[in-house]
Amino acid sequence: MSIPNEKYKSLSAAEFFKNYPELTGFSNPARALYQTIRELVENSLDATDVHGILPTIKISINKVMDNDDIYLVSVEDNGIGIPPNNVPAAFAKVLYSSKYALRQTRGMYGLGIKAAVLYSQMYTGQPVEVVSAPLNSSRVYFFKLQIDISQNEPVIITKGSAPNRNTWHGTLVKINILGDWGKSKQRIFEYIKRTAIITPYAEFFYRDAENHLYVFRRLTNKMPLPPKTVKPHPYGVDIELLKELIREKEESVVLNLLRENFQGIGEVTAKEVLERAGIGINKKNKNLTQEEIKKLADVLRTYEKFRPPSSDALSSIGEELIKIGLKETLNAEFVEAVSRSPKVYSGHPFIVEAGVAYGGKIELSDEPQLLRYANKIPLLYDEKSDVTWKVVSEIDWKRYGVEFPAPLVIMVHVCSTKIPYKSTGKESISDVIEIEKEIKNAVSQVARKLKDYLTQLKKREEAKKRLLNFLKYSSEVANSLAYIKTNGDEKKIKDEENKLRRQLIEIIKTRLGAKEEIDEVVKKLEVVIG
Ligand code: ADP
Ligand code: MG
């Protein structure tokens, strides 16, 4: 057998993601256009609401040339901007991010915008353009950037700055993308609409590739509390994390290592943990043996007395905002929402929220229309592989009084410092048992509220029917009674009859408890009865 002549080489992160664009959602031109909008909008929202700024987001898509499927996508926000020194790497170095901290943000991989830049570079050869002014910056900075793919380093094509006369802050990104407008326009619109539902405190101006302008106005000035950056919880610790912390402070002692770097570990707990791990509290970090580090990691992961992970790092929407978003954007007749208390899976805190919208302008469908969200991001693809779909499709809606086709929308929002996405494209959530259970609880809770409403609705419908029957006879009854009461006095009889009829209607109203419906019916019948 001849000796194989295998060639070995290593890939840069940029090369890897360029080779596998489908991992980041860039699998074809239709997906690419949608994904680009998504990455840009999510960055813009992270730069605003995470920092307590009411978002104003302007999105536009323009066809670059008539005979070419290249679109110029541009997204502008009023966010915190990006320090000029960080702009090149933020936009042109794969796996570079300001969001590797422990708090809830839409971005988390440091990948999104670079995936778009790579795709753009592959099919248009054009650089990405960034204009940005950080908060209170006296200058506005602009860049044209590309990625040196083999090195995974930014290449600055041009850069410059100008005085910031209007004290503007925020970021404008322009990028050319090979796209398929026909195949993506519906999804892109749906994405923006669903984003508007979950961020009713934001305003969106969207000019599409056919020059239609859509405005999703701000529905409220109330924003959810921004997430706080927290320290890691010891339940999520591993040997490598401990080693990194040790390297950072070699001369310090292990007691302080525990106290300073983890949430919920004070002096007393730290001492207990170290005792259990058989390590002296004053041992220097650099003197910890490999075995002691492993033992310490084991104890930290299993110590049963830690408080559960803090939910300060989360920023849920809350019932009020969910209801506003659903009601106004869908023009629903009935909306309800629940926001569950924080729970934990594998050391990560999470919150599940659910909303229901029924009737009004919602279209009839044969199953509930599902709006899925993770960390305030609408998820549009891979619905059937999402844990939320699993839960919602298993519910017996008849039990809740729903008969399909029905105008029913169910929304589910999962937020966490770590959403267990199935892929880097962030389109569906894995079926983690704890999360699944919470989704079930949340959806059943809103479903019960829907049931109450539908029961009430049914009652009203029935009341209406019964009332119609009563009303049919009310004139005759009133007339006979009036005859008896007035002794057949022709002059008084009409007045008396009217009076009695009104009294009868009042009695029916209080009996049936459906005042609005009755008023409506009476008004219609008034004409007939005279
Ligand atoms: P991620 O969002 O996962 O961090 P991205 O590649 O999408 O990764 O973005 C990289 C970084 O660039 C972000 O972490 C952020 O610091 C910065 N950034 C991108 N867009 C904006 C923006 N519109 N405003 C402020 N910062 C931004
Ligand atoms: Mg991002």
Q: Give nearest CA residue, ligand 1 atom 13.
A: 97
Residue 34 has pLDDT above 80, yes or no: yes
CB 197 within 8 A of CB 329: yes
Give me the phi and psi of 353, to 5 degrees please: -125, 150
* Residue range 47-72, pLDDT digits in tens: 999 999 999 999 999 999 877 899 99
Percent of the chain's residues with pLDDT above 70: 96
Residue 257 has pLDDT above 70, yes or no: yes
Task: Indicate the pTM of the whole model.
Answer: 0.87
pLDDT band at 530 (very low <50, low <70, confident <90, very high): very low
Q: Set out the domains of the chain in order of their start, with CATH numbers.
A: 13-216 (3.30.565.10), 234-302 (1.10.8.50), 319-445 (3.30.230.10), 454-529 (no CATH)
Which of the ligands is closest to the CA of residue 97?
1
d(CA 365, CA 169): 44
Q: How far apart, in whole angstroms, are the C-alpha atoms of residue 123 and residue 18? A: 11
CA torsion angle 487 492 497 503 (round to 10): -100
Q: Which ligand has its closest atom nearest to the C-alpha of 172?
A: 1
Closest ligand by atom to 79 CA: 1
**Residue range 412-441, pLDDT digits in tens:** 999 999 999 988 778 999 999 999 999 999
Tell me: the pLDDT tens digits for 172-230? Answer: 999 999 999 999 999 999 999 999 999 999 999 999 999 999 999 999 999 999 999 99
Nearest to 420, CA basis, from 183, 132, 108: 108
Pocket around ligand 1 at a 6 A CB cut-off: 39, 43-44, 47, 77, 79-82, 90, 97-99, 107-114, 171
For 166, counting Cβ atoms within 10 Å of its Cβ (0-12 exposed, 13-18 middle, 19+ buried), the class is exposed
Question: Which residues sit with Cβ closer than 5 angstroms to ligand 2, an ion?
Answer: 43, 107, 112
- Give the pLDDT score at 339: 97
pLDDT tens readout for residues 309-331: 888 999 999 999 999 999 999 99
Indicate if the pLDDT at residue 411 is higher than 50.
Answer: yes
Are 386 and 428 in contact, with CB atoms under 8 Å apart? Answer: yes
424 vs 201: CA distance, rounded Å: 28
Ligand 2 geometric centre to CA of 251 (Å): 37
pLDDT digits (tens, 9 = 90+) for 277-286: 999 999 999 9
Per-residue model confidence (pLDDT) at position 501 = 83
Q: Specify the ligand 1 atom closest to the Cα of 111.
A: 6
What pLDDT sits at residue 375?
96
Q: Determine the distance separating the centroid of ligand 2 and the alpha carbon of 112, expressed in angstroms.
A: 5
Relative to the alpha carbon of 135, which ligand is closest?
1
List pLDDT tens digits, range 350-392.
999 999 999 999 999 999 999 999 999 999 999 999 999 999 9
> Edge to edge, what strands does the sheet with 213-216 contain?
153-163, 139-148, 128-133, 170-178, 70-77, 56-63, 203-207, 213-216
**Ligand 1 center from residue 24 Cα (angstroms):** 15
pLDDT at 20 over 90: yes
Ligand 1 nearest atom to the CA of residue 108, by list position: 3
- Report which protein residue has its CA nearest ligand 1's atom 23: 44
pLDDT tens-digit readout, 496-520 = 888 888 888 787 777 666 566 667 7
Mean pLDDT of the chain: 92
Classified as helix, coil or strand, 204 is strand
- Ligand 1 atom nearest the C-alpha of 100 is 4
Q: How many whole angstroms separate alpha carbon 378 and alpha carbon 198?
A: 8
Report how far ligand 1's centroid is from the alpha carbon of 251 (Å).
35
135 Cα to the center of ligand 1, angstroms:
15
Residue nearest to atom 20 of ligand 1 (CA): 43
Which atom in ligand 1 lies closest to the alpha carbon of residue 112?
7
Cα of 436 vs centre of ligand 2, distance in Å, is 26
Relative to beta strand 128-133, strand 343-345 is: unpaired
In this prediction, residue 346 carries a pLDDT of 84
